[in-house]
Every structure is written in C-alpha cells, then in structure tokens.
Structure 1
Amino acid sequence: MADPTSKTVLITGATGYIGRRLTHRLLDAGDCRVRLLVRNRNKVQVAIAGQVDIREGSTFDAASLTAALEGVDCAFYLIHSMGEGEDYRRLDRESAENFRRACIAAGVRRIVYLGGLGKKESASTHLLSRIETGEVLSAEPEKVQTIWLRAGVIIGSGSASFEIIRNLAQKLPLMITPRWVRTRTQPIAIADVLSYLQHSADLEVAGNLVVDIGGEALRFQDMIVQAGAAMGLKRVILPVPVLSPRLSSYWLIFFTPVPYKIASALVEGLKSETILQNDHAARYYPQVRPLNFSQAVAAAELDLAHNQVVSRWCDSSALRVCDIRDYDDPAGAVLRDVRVVPFARGERQQDVFRCACRLGGKFGWSRYTVLWRLRGLLDKVAGGYGLNRGRRAPDSLRVGDAIDFWKVVDIREDKRLLLYAQMKVPGQAWLEFDVQPQQLVQTAHFLPRGLLGRLYWYSVLPLHNLVFQDLAEAVVKGARQPQG
C-alpha cells in the first residue's frame, strides 16, 4: 500500500479503456493513494479492489461527487461520450462544469484531462465536444489548475483505433478506400499516454497548460500498411473519391469489431488533420520518449499474444454500458426459454461454470456458431455491435466485459453468469447460466417492447429450439474436457 501520508488522486472514468490502465500504473508506482469514482463498484477488478478507495456516484450527482473529491490533491477527468443521444454535447459540458465546480469547492489543486487533437474550426462533432470539455474544465485557472493533454489515435491492445487498423491489415490484402485515409494524424502508444498522465500529477508548472502528445505524423493508410508489415503482411491501398462518410462507416463495421457509432465518429474525426499544435510534450515531459508507430503495434501485439489485455474500448463506451446495475436483474422479463441439462457423467459444478465463461470470441457458440454469426451480421447492418467484437481474454471474465454482442452484468463464482444483450432487439434480453450442483439451468429472458417485441420473440422460437438447447448441452459436455 502507498504511504498514508502521500497525496490522494481521484480517477473518473476508472472502468473505461484509459482509466483501468491508469489505475494499474499508479498502483504500481505506489506513491499516492488512488481513489476511483465509478457508477458501479462491481466493475472494479477484484484483484485491485482492496488497493483502491472506491466511491460510487457520477458527475451528475452532486453529493457523491463532493464526497469523492474530499481530500483529493489531483483529479483525472477521463469521461467522454461517443454520442449517446442527440444531446450528448450539452451533457458533456454539464458534466465538466459540475466537476470543475466540485473540484474548486473541495480545494483540489489540479485537474488532468485527456482530450483529443484537432482545431476547433475544423473538428468533427465528436472532437468538438472533447475540445469544449477541455475549455469548461480550464475556465477558472485562478481557482483550480488544469493540465489538458490532447491525443490523436491511441495504439494499444484493446483500443478501438488499433483493433480497426489491425483487422483491416489482417483481412484485406487490397483495399479500395475513401480519400480520408490520406489525412494525417499523430498516433501514440497507450504506454506513452499513461506516462504523460502519470507525470502530469506532479508536473511543476504554473497556470493551465495544454499539451499535445503524439509520435510521427502518419496518414491512416500509412498506419494500415505499417501494421500489416509488422505482422508480416504486404498491403495495397487504393484511395478513391466516391466513398461517402456513411458508406465508409459501414465499410469499417463489416471488417472490424466496432459498431456504427464508433466507426462514424472515427471517420468524421479523420476528415480533418489532427496534428500537434505545440511542443509542450517535449518541453515539459523530457523523460517521456514516445514509441514510434511500429513499436507501438509490436507492443500491442505482444499483449495480445500473452493475453495481457487490461482493458478494451467497449469496457465503457456509452452510458448504457456503464450503468450495468440497471441491467443485472432480469426478474421483470415476461418471456423465457429455459433449458435444463443434468450432469449425466458426474461433471463438476466449477468445470461447467468455467466452460460457460469461455463462450464467445474464438471459442464460438458450439455447433450452431454459423447461426450466431448470421445474427451478428444482421446486428452489424442494423448498427449494433455484431459478433466480431469478441472478448478481452479467452479464459477470464469480469463484470463489464464484452462477449461478442453480450455484456457481462453479473458473475458469481462457480454459480451464475448473467449476460445482457447489446444486439439490436425490440426489447431487452438476457442469457443466464445458473450452475447448480447436479444440473445447468440456462435461461434466455426477454422483456418485449410492444407488439413488435412479442412478434420478434415468437418468430425466432424455432431457432431457439436449435441454438439454446445445443448451447446448454455443449457447456455441460465441455466440462468433461481438460480446461486449457
């Protein structure tokens, strides 16, 4: 544990892609007390829960925000939206305003914010919201100091940008692409982002500071070609002027794990250059020597090879993902498909549970995986996550993890696994594995939305009879195999 006399830092967005990794970085350094502000404490990894001070709440709950900031020296603001609803820009500004005021009232010395590169006059709507958030946080420098880091494409295992680039490089030897692939940006390794964040807590500087961070300037097509080369693959890219941003977004969702919302935000962001506007990173952080793009790709690939993916882009990519507490109880469902499979050959309860926890990703969904993939393709077309989102790690799960188009909303070791559907359906759906001492009870729960929801449920019942019975039997059968 850190010295009890050391400073206290608060991390918001602590269960997101950057927040999870920053938490680990600060704990490893051991020179501060780490406090997390989260919507649901169950999303904090069990392995570190005892090492951090967990406070439940949000930037829209004044009481919880005040309590979380009490005694804090430096607060990391890692909250942003990917466009959840039409009013997300206003909500982003309101969130930042609430946070700045609460920091001032609590006597917080410094706010550290991670935003995006770009000029306000040419920024996409998503990047403009990031810029506006930084402006709000920085609005009262005489009362609280703000260090505003600005990054472009972040390259690391589990980042949305890296997974897009990696999938394109792996799957398409020849790409006919839109003109925006020639737009320049300055990618940065996730390890370097964390270094800048970590050093920002103690940086000796007066007043507010905006710090643009990134490596060498590259076009998006350069990144795909270099990523392919790092994997031993030669890739050819032919930009054409006829692909609109909407078509480009659909092109991305068919070949990468990201849904339409994230793909469209990326495409919009790449329509204008995101290049460093200052040299403050080199001037104020001389100890950070950024990796080049090829090195960043190699580091990400190494993490994947060793299953060391601490976080993924889908950990907290939207408000609906964060508020898993609202989705961890299917008691209100009115339609259910229940499958009971006894342990006919003496399978152990813990082995059946572990087999259930291996579903999805590369392991698939048993004999009818092709039907699941077809459902995933339809979901992608409808703007959902689809089946190729995969999972963070092949052999471990935690609350908040993604499994293809499902989200883990409850885990009770050797007993229960509850998945919430993030596919496009006219209602809400769950898939529950209740592992009892002598049998597996697998239940698909569905809360339909109006008549359309009921029609949907009954129209897919014939497929349920195939896929759900097969899935339950496969989980029990898999428990007989050695767990590798």
Structure 2
Amino acid sequence: MPTTATRRILITGATGYIGRRLKDRLLQRADLQLRLLVRDPNRLRPEVRQRVEVVQGDSFDATALQKALQQVDMAFYLIHSMGSGPDYAARDRRSAEQFRDACIAAGVARLIYLGGLGRMENASEHLRSRLETGAILSARPETLQTLWFRAGVILGAGSASFEIIHHLTQKLPVMLTPRWVTTRTQAIAVEDVLTYLEAAIDLPAAGNWQIDIGSEPTDFRGLMQAAAASLGLKRWLIPVPLLSPKLSSYWLMLFTPVPYSIAAALVEGLKSETLVENDHAKQLFPTIVPRTLPQAFQLALQELESDAVLSRWCDSSAGEVCDLSPPADPKALVYRDCRQFALAGLTPARVFSQLCQLGGAAGWGGYDPLWSLRGMIDKLMGGVGLNRGRRVPAQLRVGDAVDFWKVVDLRPNKRLLLLAQMKLPGKGWLEFVIDDDWLIQTAHFFPKGLGGRLYWYLVMPFHALVFERMGRRLLAQAAKMPAS
C-alpha cells in the first residue's frame, strides 16, 4: 500500500496503445502507486497485476468509477470510443462527463487528458469528438484542474499512423496520392508524448492548461519522405485529384494493416491541419525537446527490429476491430473441426512455444496462398485481413492481434484460444489445448442464420487441408527447436 509520501495515480485506457506504455514507464517510479481501471484484468501481464491495484469496469460504470477514484491524487484519461459504432461521439461525451464528475466527487486534484490537435470549425468527426472530450473534461476549473495535451500524428512502433506510413513506404516505390498529402501537421514521437505525460504528474503549475505538443511542421508528403529516408529508400509521390476519401480509404486498407473503418476515420482526419497553436509546452516543460522526424522514425524502427514493441493501435478494446470476447465455452458452439496430434515425446513447453510463434511472417503452417486469398477477401469486405501481423514474432499475451485473429485466452503450456476477427457469417475461434501427450486443435464456429451454416460446409474442404497441415507442422517445428 502507498505510504503518506506516495501519490496514487489512476490510469484509464491502460491496455491501449499509450496506456500500456505509460503504465510501464510509471511502474519504474517508487514514489507512485498505480491503479488501473480496465475492462478485462486478464489483459494485464501477471507481473503487472502484482504491482498495481486493479479495478474492473469502465467509465460508464458508476460503481467502478467510484471505487477506482477513491483516494486518487491524479487521473489519466486515455479513453476514446472510435470504432465502437456510429454513436461513438455521443459515447465519448457521456464518458467524459461521467468521469469528470466522478473525479470531482472523489476529490481528485488533477486530471490529465491526451487528445488531438486541430480546430473545431474544420475538424473531422473523429477529431471533433476528441476536442469535445477535452472541452468537457476542462469545464469545471474551479473544482478540478485539467491538463489537456493535444498531439497530432504519433510516431512509434505499433501506432496506426506509423504502421500506415511504414507499410506504404516499404511496398510502393511510386505512390499516387490524394490532395491531402499537402495538409500541414506536426507529428511527435510516442516517447516524447510519454515524457510530457509523466512530467505532468510533477508540474507545479495551477489552473487548467491546454498544451499543444509536436515536432517541426511538415505535411504528410514530408512524413512519407522522412520514413523512406529512415529505411534507406527513395520514393516518388505523385498527387492526383481523382482519389476521393473513400478511394483513399480502400487504398490504405489494401496496403496497410488497418481495416476500412479505421482507414476511413484517419483519411477524414488528414484533410484538416493539425498544428501546434500555443507555446505552453515550452513554457511549462522547458527541458523537454521533442525529437526530430528522422529521430522519431529511427526510434520506431529500432523498436521493431529489436522485437520490443510494447503496444499496438489494435490493443484498444473499443470496437469490433479490437474487441475481446470472453474465453469461449466450446460446448456452447455448434460446429467444430477437432484434430488430435500425438506429442511423441515433445514437452508441452516446446509445443506451446511453437504455438506462440504462429502467424505474421512465420505463417500458419503451409498453404500460404490459401491464407493470403482469405486475407485478401477479408480486406475487400472491410475486415482486418492478414497484414495486421503480430506485435513481436515469438511472444503472445492476451489481447494481442495475430493477423486476423485475437488472443482471448492464454494459459502457458496448456491452452491458446484465438478469436476470429475476419468478416464471417457468425463467430469463430481456433483453440489449441495441450493435454497429456496430445495437442488438440479445434476450430469452433457459431453460425448466424442459414448463410453461416452454408459457409461452414463450403469451407470444410479447405479446413481439411490447412488445419491438418498446421497441426503436423507445429509439432515438426517444435521437434527442431534446440533443447532448453
């Protein structure tokens, strides 16, 4: 429990892209006691759960909010609902109001919020919602101090913006680009964002502050060129007037890991300038100097190359793209394809280690053209497709994305359960259970209507190929692993 000299900090959104990284950074400080408000505590690493206080719930749960904010000195609000449905803006407003009022009732001294740069009069729907959230959280300065940080494009391994820029730059030597590539912006490295957020805890200033943060001004063409230079590549961007926002969204969806819904929201936002409008960052934090664009890209690439990606854009629990369903009860599902493979002397640890390397660049055990075709079909239907990849090549945690699957249950050396996030006429899971001397591999499917049932029987011949090969290849690869 915290001592009298220790401040208690609440982090919301602690399993999202920024929240995960901020949590890990603040855990290094002995003068802080962290409390996390999360929907699913299983998404936190066991060693993290031992070092923090965890309250299960969300910002719409009044009881959970009251419990989470009790005796809290400062709270980080890192929540947004983009991707949760067409009413996400209304949900954002309601969430912000309830959280602000709960902070006031609990006597919280300071609320720290990270939103986006931009102006309300020409902002996209997504950005307008972030601006409204900041205004709502800041609306009671007489009873609650709010530090409202505003950032534009955040560059870091795993961020949606970085992954889009990185994939396009890698794959396309020549790009036909829409007019919005000339929109002015000020990007910032994710590490600099975290530095500002941490520094806000110790800031002696009183009153509400809107703090705009970013590196040097550029446009999105400049971001692409900086990314190409960091990769040692030369790229040509040719603006054309024919690419509408909808066509641009499909273009991003096909060549990058993001699904159509995320791509459309980002493209809409790229039409508005996102520039720093005040010097409060320099005034309040004179020792923090944001990295240049080349430095930001190099840092992100180093994180990728060292397999040290702490979080990704799809870690968030908002919306079906990143949604986590509870672990499934296979007995409740209608259709199953179950295959058993003898371990033949292999230890459960070896087999489980190989399971945790599925997907991404390693593939799914063979028949790669069939997997690629399924991924392309999913992309064309507005799904996430295969090229979302993995956070790191050889480790998994609950909540990780693996191509068009999501890890929903992971029990070391015993069970791995993946939720299908491709477009389906129903819900699907892929389960691996290590039981005694057997690997039991089961595809579960809960169909929706007649179309779901027809779908299952149509794909059964392909299952016979890919799932049988997958299980055998897993054990063959495990047998080749060096003895530990």
Alignment TM-score, normalising by the size of structure 2: 0.97
Does 2:311 correspond to 1:308?
no
Residue of structure 2 equivalent to 1:367:
366
Cα distance change on mapping 1:126 and 1:354 into 2, 3 Å: same
Separation (CA, whole Å) in 2 of partners of 1:429 and 1:4: 50
Does 2:40 correspond to 1:40?
yes
Summarize the alignment of residues 318-333 of structure 1 with structure 2, pairs less than 5 Å apart. 318-320=318-320, 324-333=324-333
Residue of structure 1 equivalent to 2:229:
229
Separation (CA, whole Å) in 2 of partners of 1:322 and 1:271: 25
- C-alpha contact (below 8 Å) 2:83/2:319 kept by paired residues: no
Separation (CA, whole Å) in 2 of partners of 1:137 and 1:357: 41
- C-alpha contact (below 8 Å) 1:82/1:126 kept by paired residues: yes
Summarize the alignment of residues 324-473 of structure 1 with structure 2, pairs less than 5 Å apart. 324-344=324-344, 346-473=345-472
Q: CA deviation at 1:322?
A: 6.3
Moved more, 416-425 or 347-356: 347-356
Q: CA deviation at 1:319?
A: 3.6
Cα distance change on mapping 1:281 and 1:328 into 2, 3 Å: farther
- C-alpha contact (below 8 Å) 1:188/1:290 kept by paired residues: yes
Does 2:25 correspond to 1:25?
yes
> Aligned partner of 2:250: which letter?
Y
Separation (CA, whole Å) in 2 of partners of 1:369 and 1:143: 59
Residue of structure 1 equivalent to 2:79:
79
Q: CA deviation at 1:318?
A: 2.2
Output one character per residue of 1:177-211: Cα deviation in whole Å (capped at 9) or x when no partner.
Answer: 11111111100000100011111122122221101
Q: CA deviation at 1:2?
A: 7.0
Output one character per residue of 1:140-160: Cα deviation in whole Å (capped at 9) or x when no partner.
Answer: 111111110000000011111
- C-alpha contact (below 8 Å) 1:82/1:317 kept by paired residues: no
Q: CA deviation at 1:366?
A: 1.4
Moved more, 307-316 or 346-355: 346-355
Cα distance change on mapping 1:322 and 1:406 into 2, 3 Å: closer
- C-alpha contact (below 8 Å) 2:152/2:188 kept by paired residues: yes
Moved more, 46-55 or 126-135: 46-55
Output one character per residue of 1:285-313: Cα deviation in whole Å (capped at 9) or x when no partner.
Answer: 11211001100000011111111101011
- C-alpha contact (below 8 Å) 2:317/2:323 kept by paired residues: no
Output one character per residue of 1:433-467: Cα deviation in whole Å (capped at 9) or x when no partner.
Answer: 01122111100000001111111111111111111
Tell me the SS of whatever aligns to 2:366: helix
User: How many residue pairs get matched?
Assistant: 483
Separation (CA, whole Å) in 2 of partners of 1:376 and 1:323: 19
Separation (CA, whole Å) in 2 of partners of 1:331 and 1:5: 52
Unaligned runs of 5+ in 1: none
Summarize the alignment of residues 62-211 of structure 1 with structure 2, pairs less than 5 Å apart. 62-211=62-211
Does 2:299 correspond to 1:299?
yes
Q: CA deviation at 1:27?
A: 1.1
- C-alpha contact (below 8 Å) 1:168/1:255 kept by paired residues: yes
Separation (CA, whole Å) in 2 of partners of 1:31 and 1:245: 48
Cα distance change on mapping 1:245 and 1:33 into 2, 3 Å: same
Provide the alpha-carbon RMSD of the alignment: 1.4
Q: CA deviation at 1:325?
A: 4.7
Tell me the SS of whatever aligns to 2:466: helix
> Aligned partner of 1:248: which letter?
S
Separation (CA, whole Å) in 1 of partners of 2:104 and 2:261: 35
Cα distance change on mapping 1:4 and 1:467 into 2, 3 Å: farther
> Aligned partner of 1:110: which letter?
R
Q: CA deviation at 1:99?
A: 0.3
Q: CA deviation at 1:24?
A: 0.9
Output one character per residue of 1:237-276: Cα deviation in whole Å (capped at 9) or x when no partner.
Answer: 0011110000001101111111111111111111011111
Tell me the SS of whatever aligns to 1:247: helix
- C-alpha contact (below 8 Å) 1:39/1:322 kept by paired residues: no
Share of identical aligned residues, percent?
Answer: 57
Separation (CA, whole Å) in 2 of partners of 1:27 and 1:205: 24
Q: CA deviation at 1:331?
A: 3.6
Q: CA deviation at 1:343?
A: 2.1
> Aligned partner of 1:389: which letter?
R
Tell me the SS of whatever aligns to 1:479: helix
Moved more, 329-338 or 31-40: 329-338
Q: CA deviation at 1:483?
A: 5.3
Q: CA deviation at 1:373?
A: 1.2
Tell me the SS of whatever aligns to 1:60: coil
Separation (CA, whole Å) in 1 of partners of 2:390 and 2:410: 16
Cα distance change on mapping 1:416 and 1:323 into 2, 3 Å: same
Tell me the SS of whatever aligns to 1:195: helix
Output one character per residue of 1:373-425: Cα deviation in whole Å (capped at 9) or x when no partner.
Answer: 11111111111110000010111110000100000000111010000011100
Q: CA deviation at 1:329?
A: 3.6
Separation (CA, whole Å) in 1 of partners of 2:121 and 2:283: 26
Q: CA deviation at 1:216?
A: 0.6
Separation (CA, whole Å) in 2 of partners of 1:356 and 1:452: 31
> Aligned partner of 2:135: which letter?
E
> Aligned partner of 1:395: which letter?
A
Q: CA deviation at 1:82?
A: 1.9
Alignment TM-score, normalising by the size of structure 1: 0.97
Cα distance change on mapping 1:483 and 1:71 into 2, 3 Å: farther
Separation (CA, whole Å) in 2 of partners of 1:127 and 1:483: 50
Tell me the SS of whatever aligns to 1:121: helix
Summarize the alignment of residues 207-218 of structure 1 with structure 2, pairs less than 5 Å apart. 207-218=207-218
Q: Please list every run of at least 4 consecutive aligned residues from structure 1 whose deviation after the TM superposition is greater than 6 angstroms.
A: none
- C-alpha contact (below 8 Å) 1:40/1:325 kept by paired residues: no
Separation (CA, whole Å) in 1 of partners of 2:366 and 2:439: 18
- C-alpha contact (below 8 Å) 2:83/2:320 kept by paired residues: no
Separation (CA, whole Å) in 2 of partners of 1:257 and 1:438: 37
Residue of structure 2 equivalent to 1:278:
278
Cα distance change on mapping 1:254 and 1:322 into 2, 3 Å: closer
Residue of structure 2 equivalent to 1:254:
254
> Aligned partner of 1:354: which letter?
S
Cα distance change on mapping 1:137 and 1:403 into 2, 3 Å: same
- C-alpha contact (below 8 Å) 1:141/1:207 kept by paired residues: yes
